[in-house]
Structure 1
């Protein structure tokens, strides 16, 4: 019986992914499941082979009309004959919808996650013939989880020797004008490097030095020049080995003598809150961390989001044979 053999894993091709448009996804992928499976395998998104988890033998692929893809892997051992989905181990494994619909949802999420308002759930349900809004909500969350996992696995610092990083903190989920129901205040620390247009946003429990200094050291590279307002907690920044400039917002948005400002960091808040306002209702404020990761992910990969989305899945999160 055949033993498991190593298969060279293909990588996503940037030009191919950038050529895809929503208007062509349906015609390109929905008409042939075989072509869609072949496309996914070409770019490392579905396994080309499967090893039986019981016998450790190389499975055989065959037609099986009772499953959504019409194909399965089956163990050749007559005493086993275990059947495995061709989606096993892939990003598609939890999906109960056709592959092409997952591709369409991920395309819409990745290309719209940086905009204040993307396509409505009703639009996606209608265009993709999906009967439940929960399916759209769940898959948008799966996409958001990719962004969260990226920053967990790749906590890259911003700034560096001689680079200016503006920092600020802002309250999310607070009552306006002390009206409305009581909502626990959520504070977010933000840092923005204007030169590379890269930002960091991290939820914090408090705004004191004990809380903020470890976050600053984690996300801002040594040798950076940090600009901030005159919040007392930031007085400890020079003790951490950073150069530190301040602006007194009581008098100026930009210090007339030093040029120190936090305008870029505050502009990041404006963009983020415009996005969150369209997404967050009163029941999902505990998802702020995921929304922050989504916003940061778009800042980092908005030049070619669909390509980067699937590259991260193929290379890091769902590595298949």
Structure 2
């Protein structure tokens, strides 16, 4: 994968890049008004390059009348142009984009690039504030806005994971408990997240649920996982009848005794070649198969459990379901 700095410098040049992506110790709001306008211009170029803003020479057809659209000059707008179709419909270039709710004239396109870059590189909030000179409230709002966009992308572009030759690890994890005060009574509601990961593609789904009953688990899995998929789960009672829906196999692991089934000191399950993709098999098995045409397979949920560990570290002490759902969208 190409390093981000290498990509930016190869496209925009080291000198120009330094105008608005200065080093960590540089003040963001430096330079004259002309310097700031130049950084904004380069920020717009960057957003257009990555498709966050539309490019004037490559506009789609009008979503209302399917007519051809073109760019028209409009100096009253921060980008200096707008989109006009032959049918007379007018759009702003920021419509339905990441920056639609951002006041670019006040914030500057370079600030948007800074925020995106810091979020994607998981820059700590304190450092992000030092880079940009913004307040804690603004920094938190930027990061949460990015997570909200991720939630929308995950929901809009979602496609079921798994398939006939794939294995999906499914597990549920307890996030926290919500408390409701009613008179002298205190009622606790457990908040769970149910998710799965494809061993072939490493694509993940995750959903916050109030309960982990058999019906809830079945509905979640039917929506997110291809019905031709082989499932690996723990031995929670809610999965006992899931084989009636997912008929391509369902293996379990007993977490009270081990984390892999069969355990490492025992022979694996031998399945026919082509039953699963290479990524689904036990690649640590070095012994010969009992007969030709067989490959080793073991059931475990370690991959999805690793996702839960990362999720809980990111959520931290947050105790709101909406707050947690932002991080679930980020994982997806």
TM score, norm. by length of structure 1: 0.66
Normalized per residue, the structure richer in strand is 2
1:304 aligned partner: none
How far is the alpha carbon of 1:37 from its aligned partner?
A: 3.3
Aligned to 1:281: 318
* Mapped contact 2:43–2:113 kept (Cα < 8 A): no
The whole-number CA distance in structure 1 between the counterparts of 2:160 and 2:6 is 28
CA 1:31/1:184 → structure 2, altered by over 3 Å: closer, same or farther?
same
The range that moved more, 260-269 or 204-213, is 260-269
- Given that 1:71 and 1:86 are in contact with CA atoms closer than 8 Å, whether structure 2 keeps it comes out as no
How many angstroms does 1:269 deviate by? 1.5
Structure 1 residues 211 and 106: alpha-carbon distance in aligned structure 2, compared to 1, 3 A threshold: same
Moved more, 226-235 or 85-94: 85-94
> Is structure 2 residue 104 aligned with structure 1 residue 91?
no
Residue of 200, 209, 227 corresponding to 1:204: 209
Change (3 A) 1:58 1:35: closer
Task: List gaps (5 residues or longer) in structure 2.
Answer: 22-35, 63-68, 85-90, 179-185, 270-297
Is 2:119 the counterpart of 1:109? yes
Deviations 1:118-138 (A, max 9, x none): 412x322221122x2222222
**Aligned structure 1 segments of 4 or more residues deviating by more than 3 angstroms:** 14-18, 23-26, 28-31, 33-51, 56-60, 69-75, 84-90, 181-184
What does 1:208-227 correspond to in 2, within 5 Å? Answer: 208-227=213-232
Q: Does 1:146 align with 2:146?
A: no
State the distance in 1 between where 2:83 and 2:236 align. 63
Q: CA RMSD in A?
A: 3.6
| 1:136 to 2:142 alignment | no
TM-score, reference length from structure 2: 0.64
| 2:254 counterpart (230, 237, 248) | 248
1:265-276 correspondence runs (5 A): 265-276=304-315
Aligned position for 1:61? 74
Match of 2:44 among 37, 50, 63: 37
Aligned pair in 2 of structure 1 residues 207, 34: CA closer, same or farther (>3 Å)?
A: closer
Which residue among 19, 22, 33 is the counterpart of 1:27? 19
More helix by share: 1
Where structure 1 has 5 or more consecutive residues not aligned to the other structure, the ranges are 1-13, 76-83, 113-117, 176-180, 297-321
SS at match of 2:189: coil
